[in-house]
């Protein structure tokens, strides 16, 4: 059986770690294209100046326009060539990170997340949008980032909602990896699978991938509430350090090497509802996780454990928590159809999944979440 494990070359995390950015730039040269929005760069201008002086490196400010579009990526690539940049540095959240991935094309890429809202920093994929912000395409690169550098002091000073959203994204990691484990699905996105032209077998998850996905879930349960309070008070504690690692590293390695399944597919379907557009990726994934648990008829005790966690940290447990006050059958059908298109991750579940099954799972997950919020139980 062919197995594979996908990861960045280096992951470094700690307080004031941004001061060491110049060291990693020096491993490629001394000139870096810095991709980030103005606000994020201004927040850490002092640290950037210090690391540039200490390591004698130069930042070429890209003036990122805010959208990871093909037009913006082309502009940034041209700038990198004109300025003879030795590497690319992404500073900020998802779109800046994805734009930097598209510019670097899998070479000499340093990711510096300023929030821990998703597990995107470690992955070798990106999402492209139109200049108007509509979804355009996915992009995959030959390898993951060269360095992921996480300054926990910066994360601690970011809005708490970002950290909680990251916990929602990380919450799905274990359950989706478990589904892939039982279905023997090809878990490693972006690796070549078999075709008529090439006889390369699909890659299954390694023991390491499943172990990291399991640790991710255990860490959320153990440290999630404490980490939220740490972030609320803008201080770095062991719990916050652990949750940052869970949100970014454990979840990142777990999803890319362990596989996605129902939760992310249902998230994709929920994006059809305009009301959900005001909510973050991880917030929608959290509800998608509950729907996946209903889909696979998980034990009540496990569902209650997930509900308790979500309510404790402030993640959605029903559609109303995502701004959806009412939903009709046509909308449910559209969501379920999008979640079950042929190339969606929901087909990694260890049983056939139909549109009707997804509709039923969403309805039941919504009702269970409502009842649990109101009564503290759904088994009455």
Is 277 an annotated catalytic residue?
no
Q: How far apart are the first and last CA of the chain?
A: 46
Among 40, 119, 151, 264, the one annotated catalytic: 264
Positive or negative, the CA dihedral 331, 336, 337, 341 is positive
Among 268, 281, 321, 366, the one annotated catalytic: 281
- Strand-strand pairing, 135-140 and 109-113: unpaired
Burial class from Cβ neighbours inside 10 Å (0-12, 13-18, 19+) for residue 233 reads: exposed
Q: Phi and psi at residue 152, in whole multiples of 5°?
A: -70, -25
* Selection from 235, 217, 215 nearest residue 226 by Cα: 235
Write down how long the chain is.
Answer: 380
Is 281 an annotated catalytic residue?
yes
Among 86, 124, 223, 267, the one annotated catalytic: 267
Is 264 an annotated catalytic residue?
yes
Question: What residues are paired with 128 via a beta bridge?
Answer: 137
Integer Cα distance of 188 and 176 in angstroms: 13
Q: Are the C-beta atoms of 97 and 111 separated by less than 8 Å?
A: yes
Integer Cα distance of 135 and 255 in angstroms: 21
Which residues lie below 8 Å from residue 301, measured CB to CB, with a gap of 6+?
none
- List, as one string, the DSSP characters of 289-301: HHHHHHHTT--HH
Among 40, 169, 223, 321, the one annotated catalytic: 169
Which residues are known catalytic residues? 169, 264, 267, 281
């Amino acid at each position: 059986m062919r197995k594979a494990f996908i990861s960045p070359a280096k992951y470094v995390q700690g307080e004031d770690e941004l001061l060491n950015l110049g060291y990693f730039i020096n491993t490629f040269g001394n000139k870096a294209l810095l991709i980030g929005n103005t606000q994020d760069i201004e927040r850490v201008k002092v640290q950037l100046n210090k690391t540039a002086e200490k390591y004698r490196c130069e930042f070429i400010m890209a003036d990122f326009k805010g959208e990871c579009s093909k037009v913006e990526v082309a502009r940034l690539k041209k700038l990198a060539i004109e300025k003879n940049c030795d590497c690319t540095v992404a500073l900020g959240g998802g779109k800046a990170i994805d734009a930097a991935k598209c510019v670097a094309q899998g070479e000499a890429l340093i990711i510096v997340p300023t929030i821990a809202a998703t597990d995107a920093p470690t992955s070798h994929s990106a999402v492209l949008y139109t200049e108007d912000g509509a979804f355009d395409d996915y992009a995959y690169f030959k390898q993951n980032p060269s360095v992921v550098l996480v300054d926990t002091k910066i994360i601690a000073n970011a809005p708490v909602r970002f950290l909680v959203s990251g916990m929602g994204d990380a919450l799905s990691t274990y359950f989706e990896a478990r589904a892939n484990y039982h279905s023997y699905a090809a878990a490693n996105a972006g690796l070549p699978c078999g075709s008529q032209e090439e006889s390369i077998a699909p890659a299954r998850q390694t023991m390491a991938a499943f172990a990291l996905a399991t640790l991710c879930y255990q860490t959320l349960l153990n440290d999630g509430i404490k980490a939220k309070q740490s972030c609320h008070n803008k201080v770095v504690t062991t719990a916050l350090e652990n949750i940052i690692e869970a949100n970014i590293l454990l979840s990142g390695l777990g999803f890319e090497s362990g596989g996605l399944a129902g939760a992310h597919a249902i998230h994709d379907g929920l994006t059809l509802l305009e009301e959900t557009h005001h909510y973050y990726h991880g917030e929608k994934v959290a509800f998608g996780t509950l729907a996946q648990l209903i889909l696979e008829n998980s034990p009540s005790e496990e569902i209650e454990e997930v509900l308790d966690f979500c309510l404790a940290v402030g993640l959605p447990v029903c559609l109303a928590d995502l701004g959806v006050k009412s939903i009709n059958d046509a909308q449910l059908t559209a969501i379920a159809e999008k979640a079950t298109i042929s190339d969606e991750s929901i087909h990694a579940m260890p049983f056939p999944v139909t549109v009707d099954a997804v509709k039923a799972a969403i309805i039941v997950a919504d009702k269970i979440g409502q009842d649990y919020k109101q009564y503290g139980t759904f088994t009455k």
